[in-house]
Amino acid sequence: MKKPKKTFLPLFYKKKPRRYLSKKQKKLLKFTLQKFLFKKKNIKSNKKFLEIGFGYGENLIHLSKNNTKKIIIGCEVYEPGIANLVKKIEAENLKNIYIYPKNIFTLFNRLEKDSIEKIFILYPDPWPKKKHFKRRLISEILLKKIHKILKKNGLIFISTDSADYLNVILIKFFLNKNFLWVNKKITNCYKRPKKLIESKYEKKAVMKGNKKYFLKFKKIS
């Protein structure tokens, strides 16, 4: 009898190994996080932004403050980053951020069709080794899921400091006829959009001397 074939998901979608958490971080995750968890039944607005892999949450905070009438949803499995965001949300009394600390695919299943205005994927792990390419976040499967939840003319913002990953991302989108590359050419990808701020990961890229690329796509069908 053949064993059932395992479905592989990029490492991003799986819960990352637990790193050391301080007592304060553990308390934030166990108690305070509950107030900011994404729950479909509690969100009535159809004006929503989504960030996939928000890291330490700098961009989510920025989006929240500059889009107070929008619902800002952040998906992340890295617990220190989640704890950091929860602390900031509470300290700054932000009312429009909701956190989903689980598998991104389970979140897709909880979001309604054509319900998201903008999606942000900032500095996803490029997995530079060939044997790890299948772990990369940007894939045909991801684009299919994004297409379902994104409104027509909705926007996707992606940033990376890997030239190789940049080419892979562009190829994935070019092969999918449902999206338009707004930048049109690479030279238009060097400047960070005003909607984004310099995150911790972007600062690391600068320190390494890596060139940064900011891509923008629109759902056209």
Query: CB-based contacts of 193: which residues, under 8 Å, 6+ apart?
Result: 157, 214, 216
Query: In the Cβ-directed half-sphere of 189, how many Cα atoms lie within 13 Å?
Result: 23
Q: Is the dihedral of CA 95, 101, 77, 126 positive or negative?
A: negative
Q: Is the dihedral of CA 129, 133, 138, 142 positive or negative?
A: negative
Active site residues: 125
Q: What is the CA 120 to chain-centroid distance, rounded? A: 5
- Residue 139: which of 5, 9, 4 has the closest Cα? 9
Structure tokens at 162: 């890997």
String of DSSP letters for 91-143? HHT-SSEEEE-S-HHHHHTTSPTT-EEEEEEES-----SGGGGGG-S--HHHH
Buried b (16+ CB within 10 A) or exposed e, 79-94: bbbbbbbbebbeeeeb
